[in-house]
């Protein structure tokens, strides 16, 4: 069984509203990511909130038990990944699919391709690659949880990817959304209009 972690704890200053609640295809960024990561291998979903957590929680149409509140959100995104990992049942997952909320242009097809690549064996990390550029989401094997928890905050999960360069399976994709960081209304407008 795999877990999916949607990291949505930031303050969203440039967006002007919580990124978790930005409207997208009849739902929100978070609800779209939950739908895209729905897969037979994904048995646990965690939505990590931080800034404005109560207001966001009240406006999301999701299972309340999937929400984790990260009190350390001001220290950065890595703390949200830590909160997600710590919320998982001991020994209950084989890996975690990490989905930053500001990379919402993700399809279920891509998620399935990442999981298939991960399940084909031999690699600890699976990630998408668009025209030579690596993107999100990233799937980490459970063997890397302790290393993720110990990663330096200023580098984040990239530190673990760099440490295991030979254990990364890249999945080529034509989905440009894997490299698009939607942090402000103008970027969202342009990306969704493509």
Structure token pair of residue 46? 């965690």
Torsion of CA 105, 106, 109, 114, to 10 degrees: 140
Q: What pLDDT does residue 194 have?
A: 57
Domain map (residue ranges) of the chain: 2-192
Residue 90 has pLDDT above 80, yes or no: yes
Per residue in 10-65, pLDDT (tens digit) is 988 788 788 889 888 888 999 999 999 999 999 999 999 999 999 999 998 889 99
Q: What pLDDT does residue 15 have?
A: 85
User: DSSP assignment, residue 124?
Assistant: S
- Binned at pLDDT 50, 70 and 90, residue 132 comes out as very high
- pTM for the whole structure: 0.94
Per residue in 146-173, pLDDT (tens digit) is 999 999 988 989 999 999 999 999 999 9
Q: Does domain 2-192 have CATH number 3.10.20.340?
A: no
- Chain position carrying tokens 């509140």: 69
- Chain position carrying tokens 């360069």: 165
């Amino acid at each position: 069984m795999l877990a999916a972690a949607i990291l949505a704890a930031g303050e969203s200053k440039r967006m002007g509203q919580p990124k978790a609640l930005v409207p997208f295809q009849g739902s929100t960024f978070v609800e779209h990511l939950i739908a895209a990561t729905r897969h037979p291998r994904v048995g646990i979903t965690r939505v990590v909130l931080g800034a404005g957590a109560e207001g966001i929680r009240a406006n999301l149409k999701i299972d309340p038990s999937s929400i984790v509140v990260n009190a350390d959100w001001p220290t950065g995104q890595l703390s949200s990944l830590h909160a997600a990992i710590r919320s998982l049942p001991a020994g209950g997952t084989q890996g975690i699919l990490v989905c930053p909320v500001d990379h919402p242009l993700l399809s279920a097809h891509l998620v399935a391709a990442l999981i298939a690549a991960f399940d084909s064996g031999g690699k600890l990390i699976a990630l998408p690659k668009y025209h030579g550029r690596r993107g999100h989401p990233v799937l980490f094997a459970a063997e890397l949880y302790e290393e993720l928890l110990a990663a330096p905050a200023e580098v984040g999960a990239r530190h673990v990817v760099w440490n295991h360069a030979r254990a990364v399976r890249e999945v080529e994709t034509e989905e440009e959304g894997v490299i698009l960081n939607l942090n402000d209304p103008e970027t969202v407008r342009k990306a969704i209009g493509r």
